[in-house]
Chain A
């Protein structure tokens, strides 16, 4: 059994990787790259050479290609100590045309072209565009190199970076000093004299690797981070996984003991501190509070994350639909062709035929008439606002469950074992609950893990209609804003959930029904 599940999981992971590859091909190769500029106000302000350079720069940010301007190359050379600042300022001055370059510039331009051509880059030089003796708007000369990322290396890089284990060599900055990991009984983030164990590192990406606090699940870690791709437009600079899991809403201030001893009411969550090279000296605010470069902190916010909202609504709706759908399905099967069955059928036809958008709007209108809140407001905690989204999610799945359970039970009603049980003198109640239901439930059980895990994904229409800040709309939003990182990340997340829930469904089915076995020998 374990061996079988493991093999299925491996199989599933391979297909997830292929799915990610297909999605990458779709968004990076098939889609027209110029579309990202359609709603870009900066793009319309640029012209000529500047516009071309701007395009490449943006494309790099969206992850399409690697773009290296000549000036960046020179800065790189300076940082590695190959040239001094003086040569750099001399070499960076490009002529209006390649012919007009000075001797130093010519030398380094040649070097630049050679280095990047060897790496497979395309080196482009745009000559200055003149209007008489002046530059035309955005007509300054440009020199840069670019290379499209090949799909395989892009895929490999992505998969390699999904899991990162933090270690003391994570920070590359030399200014970090000694690299160490330390265990403390008294977490300095609580003032230093409250008993609270923590593991703190220096040289690691996160300052706190393991810590406790008063929020569920009480013990937290930063040792293993999951990154599904960086968002560019939806939630700038943030990883998709964080976008989905980070709390939202307004700031919640609490007493914070900063490393310098500064105590303040602030929403900063010191446990999330990450290293930003050279940040301490750059800002007076940081200098007052921090003693090292671990200055980038997240904040406490008052509400659940996107996944949190989706999950709460989804899980209650799932629970409700099983609680109501199953008894109703049994009732319909028992009173086949009677009034209950006919009413149930009417309801099933209504739900399965009418576009989901139409009945969700209908529920919204009816709910609004009844005085229920029809839109979600995060900062005004009111449990009534959960009612309509939950109802809108639960009613269709109730119909689905009713339909299938009724179908399966009626199919079972003519089996020999039912006739045998009846001839043996069992009451109808016993036959239905002990025999038919047990057999009819087997295919239903298969869907339970899927509906529970599916709650995390969220519902597109429901969340949109009721303005729920959930995860359901992440994909559509990302598509609308051409946020390639988020599209890939969300796809990976969805695909993983589907694969895992099908496997769990099979396992659960085998647990419920002893006739189903995944053992090699039994088959």
Chain B
């Protein structure tokens, strides 16, 4: 080819009588430039958010979530909530919203009435929400981190799989109510004990779920090819498998966070919760108020707020999980 080309007679370009623009001009070759892909730029996280914000419901839910977070983290700083501030004022106890607004003054504190020790239900609910949300986020963060890491190793190594399956069969059979109550009795029933109790075995079920997912993807052809090319296992795990699992992990997170709030409510209800006035504890202590005429708000407010928080977190998480699946990015 090359020789042929060299042997050809060269024609001077000027002889063709063409303008500068029409003529071929030599282009300098750049190795770096040639590697660039000319398709529109694809950024994973940008696409995730583009798909996520396309749905109007997500924007509504996200702003609701923002509002909840402001109310549970910023509002208590200003409300000056003190549960026993009105304890001596007999007229302030168990008031319905209309009565409370009338007696205690027309402000935001009293729009949900007052509770058994004369405290404002509205303030109490957001104080409780702060504790419950913090608990859920901290537990989810710890459990997801440990669960995903252990699950990845568990799925990869057949030796670890053999041992961990037995461990899982045993630990999964220890009633978790018993475990939590024993831990609460050993330590005291405070916030960090609760975190410890919910995370000491909580990561195991997440790890098990991740393990199953890893096993499904582990032996696909592209990983096989990667291993044939000599890619180290850790790189396969981080570069080949983890991106595949992002949507699974986000979906799991969407289920886990509301689950911890529900757990906390449940544990408080059966009398094994923490001593802090979380939402669950509020529901537990206000249960007799449910059927008492005029006191219903004390019971239904924490129930409603807990439900709204869990629904918002669940929907946002689910849709974020859907959006983080690259197949929806087209």
Interface set of A (CB-CB < 8 Å, partner B): 12, 15-16, 18-19, 22-23, 26-27, 30-32, 35, 349-350, 352-359, 361-362, 365, 368, 460-461, 464, 475-476, 479-480, 487, 490-491, 494-495, 498-499
Q: Which residues of chain B are near A368, meaning CB under 8 Å?
A: 291
Chain B minimum-CB-distance residue to A464: B270
B177 and A479 form a contact (CB under 8 A): yes
| A26 and B314 within 8 A (CB) | no
A361 touching B173 by the CB < 8 A rule? no
Number of interface residues of B (CB under 8 A): 39
In the assembly, what is the distance between CA of A354 and CA of B315, in Å? 11
Q: Which residues of A contact B313 (CB under 8 A)?
A: 353
Q: Which 7 A-B pairs have the closest CB atoms?
A: A353-B314, A355-B262, A495-B173, A355-B265, A354-B307, A353-B311, A19-B173
Contacts A15-B173, A357-B283 hold; do A476 and B258 have CB atoms under 8 A apart?
Answer: no
Pull 25 A–B residue pairs with CB atoms less than 8 Å apart, ordered by A. Answer: A15-B173, A23-B174, A26-B179, A26-B182, A27-B182, A31-B186, A349-B315, A350-B311, A353-B313, A355-B261, A355-B262, A355-B265, A355-B306, A356-B266, A358-B283, A361-B303, A460-B270, A461-B266, A461-B270, A476-B270, A479-B177, A491-B175, A494-B175, A498-B172, A498-B173
- Assembled-state Cα–Cα distance A464/B303 (Å): 17
Check B178 against A355 for contact (C-beta < 8 Å): no
Give the complex CA separation of A38 and B249 in angstroms: 44
- Which residues of the other chain, B, contact A22 by a CB distance below 8 angstroms? 170, 174
Closest to B284 in A: A357
List the B side residues contacting A499 at CB < 8 Å: 173
In-complex Cβ contact of B272 among A349, A362, A476 (8 A): A476
B182 touches A31 (CB 8 A): yes
**Residue pair B173, A487 in contact (C-beta under 8 Å):** no
Tell me the interface secondary structure of chain A in the complex.
helix
The verdict on A355 contacting B186 (CB below 8 Å), with A464-B270, A476-B177 known, is no
| Contact of B271 with A by CB under 8 A | yes
Contact B177 A491 (CB under 8 A): no
Q: B85 to nearest A CB, angstroms?
A: 28
Instruction: Give A354's nearest chain B residue, CB to CB.
Output: B307
Whether B166 pairs with A15 at a CB distance below 8 angstroms is yes
Instruction: Identify which of residues 158-191 in chain B touch chain A, using a CB-to-CB cut-off of 8 Å.
Output: 166, 169-170, 172-175, 177-179, 181-182, 185-186
Give the interface centre of A23, A357, A480 by most chain B CB atoms within 10 Å. A357
Cβ contacts under 8 Å, A19 to chain B: 170, 173-174
Inter-subunit contact B307/A355 (CB<8 Å): yes
Q: How far is the CA of A475 from the CA of B174 in the complex (A)?
A: 12
Does chain A have a CB within 8 A of B196?
no
**Chain B nearest CB, measured from A17 CB (Å):** 10
Contact check: which of A15, A362, A461, A491 meets B178 at CB < 8 Å? A491
B324 at the interface (CB under 8 A from A): no
By a CB distance below 8 angstroms, the chain A residues around B261 are 355
Q: How many Å lie between the Cα of A357 and that of B299 in the bound state? A: 12
**Interchain CB contact (< 8 A) of A32 among B178, B186, B311, B318:** B186
Closest CB in chain B relative to A480 CB, distance in Å: 6
Of A12, A19, A27, A349, most B-chain CB atoms within 10 Å: A19
The docked-state distance in angstroms from the alpha carbon of A357 to that of B265 is: 7
Chain A residues lying within 8 Å of B170, measured Cβ to Cβ, are 15, 18-19, 22
What distance in Å separates the Cβ of A333 from its nearest Cβ neighbour in chain B?
18
